[in-house]
Structure 1
């Protein structure tokens, strides 16, 4: 069963929440972060993307960047922009995007649960990305990035969270520049907190990482390294999470772009595709896939509908995924991309950017062909995590995303 607990968040003064809030560090590059933070000394990008305050060309993984992050975090505390909660609390975090709401519980989750498989994973992590987060946590002494977890709905928990929202005013309530609404309530009543802790301990057998595998792995590695040297703060035994009921979550498509046709002519490539797919030209208008095992392909100014034929996939949790079908039958078989995690000829675009981004990059000549996929379902994600398998890289894109800086866990 899941072990969670309340914590004393480091958080902004209510009037400054919108200024502080920053998109997750890994969804934008340094130049984009610098542009968003321009003229705003309270932006949390000064902590999460601290290279924006260093000379152009600074290695984003250099010690100078992590030292600057620690310095900037302390400066926000010294200025009173951020303050440390007086007592451990749970926090309710509601996001609304395009009229769809999802509400999660912000807490700290047990690293023992992560190590013991109570918190289930569906992706491999990369050592270089782990090291980046390890250094950021170590230098700042804070977990600034939130791990997005999901769980099978528990009606009693939904009721508690709904009632709290109805009976209490939020501490933060703003609409970010991208139109996403962020509302946060502080659950500072001990009896309610105890109920929440107990329900997770008795009704939630597992939680699932939706987004934040590297943040979770890094927190566990920091705890292991520190505790091997000296028994340290109990805060290290937990990491910052926001946990959402599965029924409220939506997964967007995660699409692929490839630089070339691996020596095939256009005619030959289309002909080869017909061995494994029904191939139908659909013209110049964008059209998203409408069901599993259907793909949209953009090539030489034309969209095509591809439908996987029987025999191109298996029914096991991994084999049935559209990302697997595309990888095995197109990216590997025809385009020679064996490992999409390391091959420089492939790139990935989250569905939040729309199909227009695929058209733009192919038409520019940067890429030659694009593939749009039908989104993975939350049920597929749970099935794969339960089976102990991992998804192919870049399989899921969750929106809306939590903001950094609103709730930080100090270690």
Structure 2
């Protein structure tokens, strides 16, 4: 059964929270990043990239030490404060179209090792080791692993009751999102929450496979140190019906020496093809794919949907790879082949059209999003999704809550 624990979180002071917290570092364009670093001295981006002007001139070990130093500077200047005792948090993100609410807690390395915490994505060992080294040098993490738990009526009611209480923070961002944080620090409430999760059989990683693997690797290397914080890693736990899963669409640079006519002929052996011309068409159900080629949109509907023996084989991203990307377009390595790139499905299809019209890419495919049931079935059978199969919201604010190691 799942084990969660409260922890002594570090967080911004109430008056500076909207200035300190930031989007994930890699979500900023170079111009946005420079603007934040030049004009906002409180931004947590200063911690994440303390030597941004000289990033290419210093080694990783020195860079990580500078991160740790800048983090401690933020604490020394009281931009960040530490809880006096372990607590949980309830965190809500309100966007134009969705409200996401979950619990911030420590989750167990032992549960991760014993497959109580289940995963559905593969990891790259170099990225796992890189982030492990980062954690070892900086001794903190501010990006929780996003996990889902089965919908639970009692837990939902409890969260709704806690949300009626005064919040710790409530602030808006330039992306027109509203963020609200409540602290759960009463012993009886924390005990109830721990016991509630102890009745849950499994948690499922939605986003953060590399972060959880890095935490486990750091635990393996440093477990004899006696540091109990290594036994857990920070997670944002959210009901499975409350996550929003988007597809990742694919764009490919060329047709692998096929003419347009040859390519369409090969596709017609697998799909029922309909030319949608200038209609911005996207698939509306499983086994449908959209395509943009030579200035026109197409619908592709899989002819044979019966001969699948596993959930992985029936996954749309896997079908596209097995039927088109690999045998026809010659793409074998979905992670590293420079001929393919990915666009999150939350972006407009017009964005894909514009990229292809510019001429660097020749064809694009849109997919229908995977649902949470498929993700759970994959994880339950220890199956791994193809790279870039899902883009999952919500996204956590860096610097909002920090877990120290």
TM-score, structure 1 as length reference: 0.94
Measure, in 2, the Cα distance between the counterparts of 1:237 and 1:29: 35
The answer for the alignment partner of 2:103 in structure 1 is 105
CA distance in 2, matches of 1:383, 1:31: 41
Q: Deviations over 1:145-194 (max 9, x none)?
A: 1100001112221121111111x111111222112221110111111010
Deviation at 1:312, TM superposition (A): 8.0
1:128 alignment partner, one of 85, 102, 126: 126
Q: Where do 5+ consecutive residues of structure 2 fail to align?
A: none
Out of 183, 187, 192, the position equivalent to 2:189 is 192
CA contact (8 A) 2:20 2:43 kept: yes
- Match in the other structure for 2:177: 180
Kindly report which structure 2 residues correspond to 1:3-402, keeping only aligned pairs within 5 A, or say none.
Answer: 3-28=3-28, 32-52=32-52, 54-55=53-54, 57-58=56-57, 62-166=60-164, 168-202=165-199, 204-227=200-223, 230-310=224-304, 314-402=308-396
> What secondary structure, in the 3-state scheme, does the structure 2 residue paired with 1:17 have?
helix
Shift of the alpha carbon at 1:37?
3.8
Q: Is the 8 A contact 2:287 2:305 kept in 1?
A: no
Shift of 1:51: 5.0
CA distance in 2 between counterparts of 1:49 and 1:351 reads 29
- For the 8 Å contact 1:22–1:43, the answer to whether it is kept is yes
What SS does the corresponding residue of 1:352 show, helix, strand or coil? coil
Question: Does the 8 A contact of 2:252 with 2:364 survive in 1?
Answer: yes
Deviation at 1:103?
0.6
Tell me whether 388-397 or 25-34 shows the greater mean CA deviation. 25-34
Partner SS state of residue 285, structure 1: coil
Q: Deviations over 1:122-162 (max 9, x none)?
A: 00000121122112211110122110000111222112111
In the alignment, the residues of structure 2 paired with residue 88 and residue 131 of structure 1 have an alpha-carbon distance, to the nearest angstrom, of 29
Secondary structure of the residue aligned to 2:384 is coil
Alignment CA distance shift 1:226-1:343 (3 Å): same
What secondary structure, in the 3-state scheme, does the structure 2 residue paired with 1:401 have? coil
Contact persistence 1:51–1:58 (CA under 8 A): no
Q: Give the 3 Å change call, closer, same or farther, for CA 179–336 of structure 1 in structure 2.
A: same
Q: 1:32 to 1:261 in 2, by over 3 A?
A: farther
How far apart, in 2, do the equivalents of 1:66 and 1:381 lie?
Answer: 34
- Does the 8 Å CA contact 2:143/2:396 hold for their aligned counterparts? no
SS at match of 2:54: coil
| 1:219 match: secondary structure | helix
Corresponding residue SS for 1:183 = strand
Q: 1:364, CA displacement in angstroms?
A: 1.4
Q: Report if the CA contact (8 A) 2:243-2:394 is conserved.
A: no
Report how far residue 368 of structure 1 moved. 1.1
RMSD between superposed Cα atoms in Å: 1.7
Q: Deviation string for 1:300-334 (max 9, x for gaps)?
A: 11111111111586151101110011011110011
